[in-house]
Amino acid sequence: MKRHLSNWLCLALALAGFVLASHRLHGATTLLPFYSGWYFFDQGYAPGSNWSELGYDEGDYGWSFGFAQFGYGDGDEETSISYGPDDEDKYVTTYFRGYVLIADPGEYASLVVNLLSDDGAVVYVNGQEVFRNNMPGGIIDCETYAASRLSYPDEADLSSTTLSPSLFVSGYNLIAVEVHQYEPASPDLSFDLELLANPGGGVTPTVTRGPYLQVGTSSNLVVRWRTGGPSTTRVLYGTNLANLNLGVSNATFVTDHEITLTGLVPDTKYFYAIGILTQSLAGDASYFFHTSPRPGPAKPTRIWAIGDFGTGYGPQYQVRDAYYNFTSNRNTDVWLMLGDNAYGQGYDSQYQSYVFNIYPSLLRQTVVWPTIGNHETGTGSQVLTDDYDYYRIFTMPTNGQAGGLASGTEHYYSYDYANIHFVCLDSMTAVFRQPGSAMLQWLQADLADNTRDWVIAYWHHPAYTKGSHDSDAEPELIQMRRNVLPILEAAGVDLVLFGHSHSYERSYLIDGFYGYSSEVSATNYLNGGNGQTNGQGAYLKPAGGLGARRGTVYVVDGSSGGQYGGGSLDHPAMAYSVLTAGALVIDVDGLKLDASFVTAGGTVDDSFTIFKGDYPGTPQPTMTIARAQTNAVITWPTSFPDYELVAAPNLPSPQWLPPGGTVSTNSRRKIVTVPTTNSHHFYQLRRVP
């Protein structure tokens, strides 16, 4: 409908609507609310060259007046506009003019336009273009179509921009908007707009999220946080809390702040404070970070890995507190999020409730390295897109700036910490799981380029599980197992972590097991023991490239939020499985890796150790020699699979086994039977190279 009112009566009604609706939202004042009154021109041609200016030649005479929302075709319009006589050849452009009274623009730090427009729009303030949404660049006119078609739900989304107060004057200001269709037969059109003002003049913006740390290296670090309204950005930092003598800033008004600190000293503790150009907003003794050590040399490293944790349930808090008690004053060096980080759809608001509100201190002290799960994609879509809140919230290395090869995408990436190389993969996006995909090609190249002692990989969907999910039945799990594991094991990857299944399951040291659970064979177990130094012995692997095809440990770590999905928990790859809330703590010290599953109750319900190379202090197997008349029987524990019996090196021609020697095993011992003669034979245990 159209309401034809006198010019000044319409203006009075519009301003009255502004006064009645003015209120504060997140510290901002609404100057022009949604559903306000606007003049509109829907005649299919341009209303004049200066229609967007306060001094428009025609004034508002000849324009219609109505209240938002404007449009046609959706059924939610307060004011219907004309699209012309032909519904297959609708008018391309409709024009709108609205007034806002501002006593003193200088009172505000910034102003924000929130725009609803289908399909494209251009916004002007007092005749100056300030914002284009879904429109081509360059000169446009009334016959210019929008850049793309919007359909539900995109057509219902708001587009926003932040404006400087200098664009406005004291008194009446004109907001002018032209809305463009994508095509002549477009079925609908929508328009509405609000103008918000963020406080200035001594009113301090509020930090509503963070800070949190991203992409930490030995020299650089990304700091992110959010404020209730747009403001400038500044970080002060230094090695002395009382003297934050370094700083970096940005004068652009934003609500989501992201800034990179550069030129940092490796392996150094820094304190910092976040704020606006003129003052700090947050910072005390708990605002600190440790830069990474230089990649390569070993340094004791603590890693906390949590999966499927963002539930808001009691066990999420208990798992967090149990880890805090476990680690005590020991700093967390690397923090891994294994996907399904915020239930139920991974929306920004859910991340606020179930991540940022629950781990505030750890987030501002430790860099977090996430992977994407099915709940990060809202409805579980497997298509290739960056249009999830997950990608807007986190910053991941795409150019190899944290170590490893550049991936060119935040879907998968790698990075180094001391003597550990980490690889994060995307198991959610279907195209990446296929043989020959861009991700798998990058993975092969990245691992081939790696020179670190340890390689830890992680993604969301487990290769092996019989918990709340079944790795024999679900395509994501099957494809990652068949297509990714051969690449990892050929490169000697040591440990792989998953979430998704709401359980804790930890494998033996295995290799080459890519089929269904019923297809496992004895050759897949490189060590049938439990990997425990106080049990059947640690897992042993050669160092460096010799570790290829010498075994990998796989861990499902998806119970950090206290969700229990049942399941048989009897996958033959697994040495230990349990339905208990908890998370995995990994300590790497030189060529030794210790892992502990710390439960919500604070107990360590599972642990395992991997030794690599000739690690100092590695326990040596004890040989037992029984000599008979014709044979010598020599045995040692099967928990040392990388040892074989060889002739002593002082013999003229050392051989792996003397002629006629045989090898057999039982559940706990490796047995070598060697024929004897009257002469002496010298043998030793030696690691297989």
Read off the pLDDT of residues 324-363 as tens digits, 9 standing for 90 and up.
Answer: 999 999 999 999 999 999 998 999 989 999 999 999 999 9
**Which pLDDT does position 634 carry in this prediction?**
57
Contact in structure between 594 and 495 (CB atoms under 8 Å): no
Rounded distance, CA 62 to CA 47, Å?
Answer: 9
**Farthest-apart Cα atoms in the chain, separation:** 123
Rounded distance, CA 556 to CA 361, Å?
Answer: 26
Tokens encoding 77? 């319009």
396 compared with 617, residue with greater pLDDT: 396
Question: Does the pLDDT at position 576 exceed 80?
Answer: yes
Rounded distance, CA 271 to CA 286, Å?
Answer: 8
Most confident of 99-108, 236-245, 657-666: 236-245
Rounded distance, CA 417 to CA 438, Å?
Answer: 25
Question: Does the pLDDT at position 392 exceed 70?
Answer: yes
Rounded distance, CA 249 to CA 236, Å?
Answer: 9
Give CA separation, 166 vs 107, 108, 109, 111, in Å: 11, 10, 10, 10
619 compared with 38, residue with greater pLDDT: 38
Contact in structure between 238 and 245 (CB atoms under 8 Å): yes
Question: Does the pLDDT at position 446 exceed 90?
Answer: yes
Beta-carbon contacts of residue 679 (< 8 Å; ≥ 6 apart): none
Query: What 3-state class would DSSP assign to 565?
Result: coil
Residue 226's closest CA among 393, 370, 109, 376?
393
Running DSSP on this structure, what letter comes out for residue 240?
B
- Tell me the Cα Rg of the chain: 32
Q: Quote the Cα angle for 394-396-397, to 5°.
A: 160
Question: Does the pLDDT at position 154 exceed 90?
Answer: no
Rounded distance, CA 242 to CA 529, Å?
Answer: 53
Mean pLDDT to the nearest integer, 452-475: 97
Rounded distance, CA 535 to CA 527, Å?
Answer: 13
Tokens encoding 31? 């100057």
b/e 571-582 (16+ beta carbons within 10 angstroms → b): bbbbbbbbbbbb
For the stretch 587-604, pLDDT in tens is: 999 999 999 999 999 999
Question: Does the pLDDT at position 108 exceed 60?
Answer: yes
**Which pLDDT does position 671 carry in this prediction?**
52
Tokens encoding 551? 């075994």
Give CA separation, 300 vs 216, 260, 541, 552, in Å: 17, 26, 19, 21
Rounded distance, CA 254 to CA 110, Å?
Answer: 9
122 compared with 688, residue with greater pLDDT: 122
Question: Does the pLDDT at position 157 exceed 80?
Answer: no
Say how many CA atoms lie within 13 Å of 443 toward its Cβ.
Answer: 33
**Which pLDDT does position 243 carry in this prediction?**
96
Q: Which helix (H) or strand (E) holds 326?
A: helix 314-327
Question: Does the pLDDT at position 86 exceed 60?
Answer: yes
* Residue 198 pLDDT grade (very low, low, confident, very high; cuts 50, 70, 90): confident
Tokens encoding 43? 């005649």
Sort 179 into a burial class: Cβ within 10 Å, 0-12 / 13-18 / 19+. Answer: buried
Q: Quote the Cα angle for 106-110-111, to 5°.
A: 105
Q: What is the pTM of this model?
A: 0.68
Using a pLDDT cut of 90, give the percent of the chain over it.
68
Give CA separation, 182 vs 119, 143, 622, in Å: 6, 10, 79
Range with lowest mean pLDDT among 198-207, 247-256, 266-275, 527-536: 198-207
Beta-carbon contacts of residue 427 (< 8 Å; ≥ 6 apart): 339, 371, 433, 459, 460, 461, 476, 480
Mean pLDDT to the nearest integer, 521-526: 90
Strand pairing report for 79-80 and 207-214: unpaired
**Which pLDDT does position 249 carry in this prediction?**
95
Average pLDDT score over the chain: 86
Contact in structure between 588 and 301 (CB atoms under 8 Å): yes
Rounded distance, CA 564 to CA 549, Å?
Answer: 34
